[in-house]
Amino acid sequence: MRILYHLPLSPFARKVRLALTEKRIPFELRVERVWERRTEFLEMNPACTVPVLQEPSGLAIADSYAICEYLDEAYPDTGLFGRTLAERAEVRRLVAWFDGKFQAEVTRNLLFEKQMKRLLGRGNPDASAIRAGYQNLKPHLDYIGWLAENRPWLAGPQVSLADFAAAAHLSALDYIGDIDWSVNEAAKEWYARCKSRPCFRSLLAERVAGITPPTHYADLDF
Ligand SMILES: N[C@@H](CCC(=O)N[C@@H](CS)C(=O)NCC(=O)O)C(=O)O
């Protein structure tokens, strides 16, 4: 069996879950409490981060981008990296934008500060980081809205890993009630289209012990 080691609110794991499901590749989810630093997990990923994908052959792949590129090469049906060279470059730029810039400016300041920091034993939430996270979120939502107004999907004519990277971050933040969708109507409409895709179903149905999402979280017409 193919196993994806994950944490339910990890945006990197969510991106891989969306890619696997969109490509109709069967897999089993296993929660990995990275803070326990399990020896067998460290052998698969010395960085001790989720996600890690273990193929039925035993091959273990760490890092969400390495996993997604591997999946697109190993299972080329339903390609998620665009068709033309220019489209492929744009998909990669936007995945790097969301997993690098958005992660550093928004997700880290909100999700990590509020939920992950204590679990990982890295101190208490920092109020100034949380304030910065909320401030940074607005221009990012506006950028997503601008892309969505100018293209069918964020990176071009087809849905791609860029949409899943962005939607993975937003869905994790939405779960903890941190997204004000009234900020940008086009971003909201694009996210509603992502949510309506079958690959989103299991994410929206999942609940994390001790954290109740806002009522609009799983609502397709929010
Ligand atoms: N570049 C990695 C980042 C993965 C990552 O930071 N995962 C977080 C959860 S969202 C984690 O496992 N953190 C544990 C730690 O930092 O010790 C990827 O894309 O997979």
CB 193 within 8 A of CB 159: no
Going by C-beta distance under 8 Å and a sequence separation of 6 or more, which residues neighbour residue 194? 163, 164, 167, 200
User: Does residue 8 register a pLDDT over 90?
Assistant: yes
Question: Does residue 49's CB lie within 6 angstroms of at least one atom of ligand 1?
Answer: yes
Question: For position 166, what pLDDT does the model report?
Answer: 98
Chain centroid, CA 53 distance in Å: 15
* The amino acid at 105: E
Domain ranges of the chain: 3-74, 85-198
Beta strand segments in the chain, E: 3-6, 28-31, 52-54, 60-62
CA of 118 to the centre of ligand 1 (A): 15
Mean pLDDT taken over the chain: 97
The three-state secondary structure class of 106 is: helix
Residue 62, SS3 per DSSP: strand
Token couple for 82: 């665009």
Residue to substitute in 12, 16, 30, 68 for testing ligand 1 pocket (most ligand atoms within 8 angstroms of CB): 12
Whether the domain at 3-74 and the domain at 85-198 fall into the same CATH topology: no
**Residue 222 · residue 192 · CB < 8 Å:** yes
Quick check: 176 and 213 in contact, CB under 8 A? yes
Output the CA 163–ligand 1 centroid distance in Å.
19
Amino acid at the residue 40: E
Residues in the chain: 222
Q: Say whether pLDDT at 119 is over 90.
A: no
* Predicted local distance difference test score (pLDDT) of residue 120: 87
Q: Tell me the three state secondary structure of residue 154.
A: coil
| Fold annotation for 85-198 | Glutathione S-transferase Yfyf (Class Pi); Chain A, domain 2 (1.20.1050)
Atom of ligand 1 nearest to the CA of 99: 19
Confidence bin at 118 (pLDDT 50/70/90): confident
Query: What does the pLDDT look like over 139-191, one tens digit per residue?
Result: 999 999 999 999 999 999 999 999 999 999 999 999 999 999 999 999 999 99
Residue nearest ligand 1's atom 17 by CA: 49
Q: Give domain 3-74's CATH number out of 3.90.1640.10, 1.10.8.60, 3.40.30.10, 3.40.50.2300.
A: 3.40.30.10
Separation of CA 49 and ligand 1 centre (Å): 4
Which residues, 6 or more positions from 84, have their beta carbon under 8 angstroms from its beta carbon?
Answer: none
Do you find a cis peptide bond into 26, omega within 30 degrees of 0? no
**6 phi and psi angles, rounded to 5 deg:** -155, 175
Q: What is the DSSP string of 20-42?
A: HHHTT---EEEE--GGG--HHHH
